[in-house]
Amino acid sequence: MITKIFLKFLKQHLKAANLVGCVEIQWDRATESVTSISLAIRKRIAKVQLFSVFIYSALQLSLTAFSKHSAASKLRAITFTGIYVTAFFLIWGTERASMHLLNSFIKFENMLLNGHNYTKSIPDKLMALVLPLILFSMFAVPICTGAVVVYNPCIPPFLGSMLPACGFHRVPMSWEIRLFLGIFDTLMFLPATVGGAFYLVHILIAGSLSMWNYCRVIKQLSLNTTRKGHKDLLQLYKNLQILEVLTNSCVRRRMLPACSIGLPAVQFAAGFVCLKFQDRMSLAAVAFYGLVYLDALILTTAVFTATSHVFINSIELLSTWKTSWQTRGEMRRRLRSLALSRFVSEIISWTIKHPW
């Protein structure tokens, strides 16, 4: 549930994202909703940040792939480049749709939970534990990356590795240049981690987990209702289907492909580096790549587990209604007209159409 679990962290995340300047939306205390940023300069800053992430990602992909670095260095670089590319597609052109979707979720939850004593599910409690780790990681990863660049400015795929000083005949760099490169890469990485994590956590994960819980709440409400209340439950389910359509239209073009490809790629690269090259890496480097692997694993598991249970819970809900309600005539026709919640089918359909 967004209002029960995610809202506190959503406000903190939006505040951090506005501080970094990587999103064009904000939390409005007056209306208790997500609104668009009114200042034109802040919108331009967010667009410049996004364009910078795109350019930097393209440079990393082109220069690292065709460089003379070792295979181990290129694999380590894939982890960071994967985060940049995934974040770009999560942020690109999704602000307004995400804003309206979050407000729709909040409005629907207030209507659904009105007079209902909601009990947190196990996934809710797990997410309450995981969300602080995600908020910590989205700042820790860029800061640690900047520290690594200061220590080793020629490490790919960052800016220092693209300079002539890090070519075949390496030229020692002064501490001023090292510090500049470290600050530069930290500031370049922050919009990717903070902005990308916002849309991944509060749109994809929160949306799928909330819809899972909505089906569960509607099922609980149906156990203690009379025949006169059946129409209200049917209307709630129809509203849920409208919310499902809004969610699918928001995530399927960019967010879902980025999550389906980018997160597993980052997870694989970070895990492979930890296992294959741990004897050549310091303990701090192993811990750093382990943190990236853990974050990618948690986010990937949360997205696909929650989306699959939306479909499963809708099957159980409609089956319960069809078997327990003694319906005839118009009510039976209404039940037959209800479709299953197919948030997960967007993943299946996209995978079939784009197998590679």
Number of domains in the chain: 1
* Spatial distance between the Cα atoms of 34 and 26, rounded to a whole number of angstroms: 6
pTM passes above 0.85: no
- Helices vs. strands in the chain: H and E counts, helices first: 12, 2
Does residue 269 contact residue 293 with C-beta atoms inside 8 Å? no
**CB burial of residue 233 (10 Å; 0-12, 13-18, 19+):** middle
Structure tokens at 331: 């009510």
Structural domain span for residue 278: 2-353
Does residue 76 contact residue 70 with C-beta atoms inside 8 Å? no
pLDDT tens sequence across 314-338 = 777 777 766 666 555 555 566 655 6
DSSP 244-276: HHHHHHHHTTTHHHHHHHHHHHHHHHHHHHHHH
Closest CA to 158 of 184, 140, 134, 177: 184
Closest CA to 304 of 261, 268, 334, 270: 261
Of 66-75, 87-96, 223-232, 242-251, where does mean pLDDT reach its minimum?
Answer: 223-232
Report percent pLDDT > 90 for the chain.
Answer: 13
List of residues 6+ apart from 186 with CB closer than 8 A = 142, 143, 145, 146, 149
pLDDT tens sequence across 98-138 = 899 899 989 988 888 877 777 888 888 888 888 888 888 88
Does residue 210 contact residue 105 with C-beta atoms inside 8 Å? yes
Q: How confident is the model at residue 352 (pLDDT cuts 50, 70, 90)?
A: very low
Q: How confident is the model at residue 355 (pLDDT cuts 50, 70, 90)?
A: very low
Of 93-107, 241-255, 303-317, where does mean pLDDT reach its minimum?
Answer: 303-317
pLDDT tens sequence across 262-287 = 888 888 888 888 888 888 877 878 88
**CB burial of residue 283 (10 Å; 0-12, 13-18, 19+):** exposed
Chain mean position to CA 315: 26
pLDDT tens sequence across 48-57 = 999 999 999 9
Burial letters for 41-67: b for 16+ Cβ neighbours within 10 Å, e otherwise?
A: eebebbeebbeebbebbebbbeebeeb
